[in-house]
Amino acid sequence: MKKIKTRNKVILLLSLLIVGYIGKNVFDICSFSTKDQRQKADVAIILGAAAYNGEVSPVFRERINHGITLYQEGCVDRLIVTGGTAEGAEESEASAARDYLLSQGIPEEAVLLEEESSITQENLENSKVIMEENGFETAIIVSDPLHMKRAMLLAEDAGIKAYSSPTPTSRYVSLRTKIPFLARETFYYIGYKWYRVFFSE
């Protein structure tokens, strides 16, 4: 009986530690989501989202719109749009984003494409290569608010001197859309942090 009580106490303690750890990460993601660090930088990196038949999705459109705002405010002179070609698609997400930017009056020479990525980490690592090729040193990272904490950690690991600027018009506004997105981000954020501990050099 004593062994059972001890085991139960250990299980309870471990459960509380796990819940507390997850809760701390949820808090960090949510609190960082409101931080806008926009300032003068060389380029804005607009993290990819879905595109359908050459048309950007509503989520991607709002990210791009925020990139347009940063460009029009003079924070950046160039925009890197990111995202590869999904299975069955004829055009990359980045290409669809460029077309949208041009339709909104952004000059073609201000738009750079990163078309090889399928995940956020690749968005940023490939954008870093584009930055180096063009002599850019600083970047504003644009995505949805709850995505920013993980995105900035990935940008740091990609070697990008980056500033966070979440879109204020995120499509994730209701609890029905926010909670699944937050759960996914928490899972990936914690997973990536542990990956860094055990596998990064």
Does residue 185 surpass a pLDDT of 90? yes
User: Which pLDDT does position 135 carry in this prediction?
Assistant: 97
In a domain, 49, yes or no: yes
In a domain, 95, yes or no: yes
Q: What is the mean pLDDT of residues 67-77?
A: 98
pLDDT digits (tens, 9 = 90+) for 99-126: 999 999 999 999 999 999 999 999 999 9
Torsional sign, CA 27, 60, 72, 131: positive
Does residue 27 surpass a pLDDT of 80? yes
pLDDT digits (tens, 9 = 90+) for 158-184: 999 999 999 999 988 888 899 999 999
Strand segments, DSSP code E, in the chain are: 43-46, 51-52, 55-56, 78-82, 111-114, 138-142, 161-164
Beta strands 161-164 and 111-114: pairing type? unpaired
Strand segments, DSSP code E, in 124-186 are: 138-142, 161-164
pLDDT band at 47 (very low <50, low <70, confident <90, very high): very high
Residue-range definition of the domain harbouring residue 100: 36-172
Beta strands 55-56 and 78-82: pairing type? unpaired
In a domain, 197, yes or no: no
Q: What one-letter code names the amino acid at 138?
A: T
Number of domains in the chain: 1
Which residue did the predictor score with more confidence, 53 or 31? 31
Does residue 98 surpass a pLDDT of 80? yes
Q: What is the mean pLDDT of residues 40-48?
A: 98
User: Which pLDDT does position 5 carry in this prediction?
Assistant: 75
User: Which pLDDT does position 128 carry in this prediction?
Assistant: 98
CATH assignment at residue 93: 3.40.50.620
pLDDT digits (tens, 9 = 90+) for 152-164: 999 999 999 999 9
Mean of the per-residue pLDDT values for the chain? 94
Q: 38 is written with which tokens?
A: 């926009």
Q: Record the pTM.
A: 0.92
Burial of 162 (0-12, 13-18, 19+ CB in 10 A): buried
In a domain, 109, yes or no: yes
What share of the chain has pLDDT > 90, as a percent? 83
In a domain, 150, yes or no: yes
In a domain, 48, yes or no: yes
